[in-house]
């Protein structure tokens, strides 16, 4: 087993956010993108307090991922304060509905696509949890992703609108 394979196995079984952040930093310093990506994805999977498989878990996974990316890029802790305030006011599902049906895509949607993370967009979350959203919301999310050139069938757990 190579050193990278050993580290990837350790990451897969790790639930300590600080260790995962350390692996991300070290992997970036050593130009090991596979390790950095694996540690990043594991980090955002362990941060949400919600039950895995729920729309709330997926939503907070996205928020944590986006905040982590922005914090790294800006060199300081960055929180999505307006998004967090909106969720406190109207809830996760309504926030996702608003994102998917807005006339224009959010800055977050564009930034996640630029970073090759379409599965973390609010629109992808809507598709994964289509039963919790009306047909018009699912259609809007599908349309936005397709207009951006995203292969809906390639998104984990997402099904095209019926």
pLDDT in tens, 136-146: 999 999 999 99
Percent of the chain whose pLDDT exceeds 90: 83
pLDDT digits (tens, 9 = 90+) for 9-54: 999 999 999 999 999 999 999 999 999 999 999 999 999 999 999 9
Q: What sign does the dihedral 46-52-58-63 (CA atoms) show?
A: negative
Of the candidates 100, 54, 104, 108, which has an alpha carbon nearest to the alpha carbon of residue 83?
108
The conformational region for residue 46 under phi > 0 = left, psi -120 to 50 = alpha, else beta, is alpha
Angle at 112 between CA 51 and CA 46, to 5 degrees: 25
Query: In sequence order, what are the residues at sequence separation of 6 or more whose Cβ sits closer than 8 angstroms to the Cβ of residue 140?
Result: 100, 101, 123
- pTM for this prediction: 0.88
């Amino acid at each position: 087993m190579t050193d990278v394979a050993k580290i990837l196995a350790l990451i897969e079984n790790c639930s300590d956010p600080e260790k995962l952040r350390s692996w991300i930093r070290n992997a970036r310093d050593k130009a090991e993108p596979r390790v950095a990506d694996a540690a990043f994805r594991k980090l955002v999977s362990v941060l949400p307090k919600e039950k895995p498989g729920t729309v709330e878990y997926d939503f907070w996974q996205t928020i944590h991922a986006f905040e982590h990316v922005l914090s790294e890029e800006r060199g300081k802790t960055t929180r999505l304060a307006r998004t967090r305030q909106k969720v406190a006011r109207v809830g996760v599902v309504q926030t996702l509905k608003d994102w998917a049906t807005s006339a224009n895509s959010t800055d977050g949607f564009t930034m996640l696509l630029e970073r090759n993370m379409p599965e973390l967009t609010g629109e992808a979350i809507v598709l994964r949890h289509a039963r919790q959203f009306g047909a018009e919301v699912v259609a809007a999310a599908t349309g936005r992703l397709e207009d951006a050139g995203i292969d809906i069938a390639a998104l984990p757990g997402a099904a095209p609108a019926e």
